[in-house]
Structure 1
C-alpha cells in the first residue's frame, strides 16, 4: 500500500479546491461531486466521523492498556498543545467496584462497575478483596505502573481485560 495523504486530508483538500472555483455552476458541480465521494467513503468506512465525546469514551475504555503511539485519538494535534493535554486527560479514573475475588498468592481481581467493565488485578497481595459497591481510584504511575486506591490503601495493579 503506497503512502499517500490520509482520507480526511484528501476530503478537506477536495472541498477546498471547490471553494476556489470562480464559476458558481462549476463550484456547485464540484461540491456535489466531492460530497458524493465523501458520502461513499463514509458508507464504505474509508472515512469515519468521530466527535470529541466518542474519542473521550474510547480513551477512557482503553485506560490501563499499553497501546502503540498513534494519532488515532489525539485529534491530529494542534499548535496550542492540545495533544499533550489529551494525553494526560486520563491519568486516573474514579469509579466503583462491581465485583472482586481473591486469586493466586493473595492478589485480588477487581471488575469495575463503569461502562467499560474493565478487570484489574493487583500485583501486590491484599489481606481481603474489596466488596462490590466500594469506591476505587486507579491512577497511572511512572513507567507504566498503575495504583489502585481502595479501602484506604494503595495497591499496585495491572489491567487484564
Structure 2
C-alpha cells in the first residue's frame, strides 16, 4: 500500500533534480522498471526498493519534490529579476507555464530617496524592494493599491495613485 501511495505521489508531484540525468531521473527510471515486472511479489518488492531509494534521495537532498503551488509562489517571488533559464520551474513549455507579467497588491511602506525617487515595499511579497527610476512628487501611503507590470526589454512600470512611473526591483 505504501508503494502505491508513493507511486501515486510521483505522478501528481514533479521531482526536480540538479542536473538533466541526475538522481531524479534515476529514481523515476527505477519506478518505470518496476511497472514492467509481471510477477506480483517481485513487482511489490521492486516498488518497495524504488520507494526506499526515493526516500533516501529526498533525505540526502539529491531530489526535491515540489508541487505547482510551490512553483507558482517561487515564480511570483522572483518577479522583477532577470534569471537564467535553468528549467527548474518548468521545462519551458509556455502552455504549461504560468507567466507573471504583473503584480497587483498594496503598499506596505514607501520612503522618499535622493532625486525624488521612491523605495517601495509591497504587502505579501517577502523581502521584495522596488524603486522608481524617476522622480515622484507624492509617494504612495501604506495600504494604497499598486500595480507593477512588465514592460519591454526588462523594464517595469509601477502604477499608484493613478500615475505610472518606471521602476526596477532592487531586492
TM-score, length basis structure 2: 0.84
Aligned to 1:146: 156
Aligned pairs for 1:81-160 within 5 A:
81-83=94-96, 85-86=97-98, 89-160=99-170
Residue 77 of structure 1, CA deviation: 4.5
**Structure 2 stretches lacking a partner, 5+ long:** 1-18
Q: Is the 8 A contact 1:55 1:73 kept in 2?
A: yes
In 1: Cα distance, 2:92 partner to 2:41 partner = 36
In 2: Cα distance, 1:4 partner to 1:136 partner = 39
Q: Secondary structure at the match of 1:71?
A: coil
* Residues 1:5 and 2:5 aligned together: no
Residue 10 of structure 1, CA deviation: 1.8
| Residue correspondences, number | 153
Q: CA RMSD in A?
A: 1.6
Q: Is the 8 A contact 1:101 1:109 kept in 2?
A: yes
**1:81-133, CA deviations, whole angstroms, 9 ceiling, x for partnerless residues?**
424x42xx210000000110110111000110114241100001111211111
Q: Determine which of 39, 42, 46 is the counterpart of 1:23.
A: 39
Aligned to 1:38: 54
Q: Is the 8 A contact 2:106 2:144 kept in 1?
A: yes
Q: Determine which of 86, 90, 96 is the counterpart of 1:70.
A: 86
TM-score, length basis structure 1: 0.89
Q: Is the 8 A contact 1:106 1:127 kept in 2?
A: yes
**1:42-99, CA deviations, whole angstroms, 9 ceiling, x for partnerless residues?**
111111110001110011111111111111112x345xx424x42xx21000000011
